[in-house]
A and B are shown apart, each in its own frame.
Chain A
Amino acid sequence: IQLSQSPSFLSASVGDRVTITCRASEDTETHLAWYQQIPGQAPKLLVYRASTLQSGVPSRFSGGGSGTEFSLTISSLQPEDFATYYCLQMSIYPWTFGQGTKVDVK
């Protein structure tokens, strides 16, 4: 299954509402997760089962969608949210990642 994220790059300001989309080439039901990666660090799990927030993740993050269309929304961007975001499908082997969306400062 191929995952396509859009946009690949996003410039935003603190306080902005940001939405990232992940499209799958086949139905993944809700077996999709979202990750945040800060340079030099491992990816960090934000959302699993498409819309369930991982423990400890701020409530400004939310995930949605099912099947082939998914989204990650940050309701009010904070300084620590400038990072790269990835989707990951675990519905069908091999598990595959999206190409990433880099969120940087406008």
Chain B
Amino acid sequence: QVHLKESGPGLLKAAETLSLTCAVSGDSISGGSYYWSWIRQSSEKGLEWIGRVYSLTGSVNYNPSFQGRVTISVDTSKSQFSLKMTSVTAADTAVYYCARRKAVPGLGLDYWGQGIRVSVSS
């Protein structure tokens, strides 16, 4: 059974950098062809896909809405992947999820972490 778990600070101040990690267990993060994604959820904007990293090559794809503020990377030696978001504002207050999708056309994000609540104070 694949298990994902987010970790990181729950509270930041405006203009700081958010760093979150998603630990993957139950399967090798690099043992297959997967997209590892970050998604967030706020009451204002609902569910937003932030971006993904492809396990086999490390290639990334980001949501342009985040205007170059985000970086997603994978550390196969630690079986985890990470999100960095710079210059946070109160609008970045949300629950952040990590999730997995097999890199096969049409498949869904099948495993999700429990989510981590992040608050940004001004």
Residues of A within 8 A of B (CB): 30-31, 33, 35, 41-45, 47-50, 52, 54, 86, 88, 90, 93-97, 99-100
Contacts and interface: CB of A to CB of B under 8 A. Distances in A.
A48 B48 CA distance: 18
Given A42-B97, A86-B47, A94 B63 contact: yes
Q: Provide the main secondary structure of the chain A interface.
A: loop
Interface string B78-122: 000000000000000000010101000111111011110000000
B26 interface: no
Contacts of B97: 42-43
Contacts of B52: 95
B109 A33 contact: yes
Contacts of A47: 108
Contact of A42 (B48, B61, B64, B114): B114
A43 B61 contact: no
Contacts of A96: 49
B57 interface: no
A48 B107 contact: yes
Given A47-B108, A50-B106, A90-B108, 8 more contacts: A31-B106, A42-B99, A45-B110, A86-B46, A93-B63, A94-B63, A96-B49, A100-B46
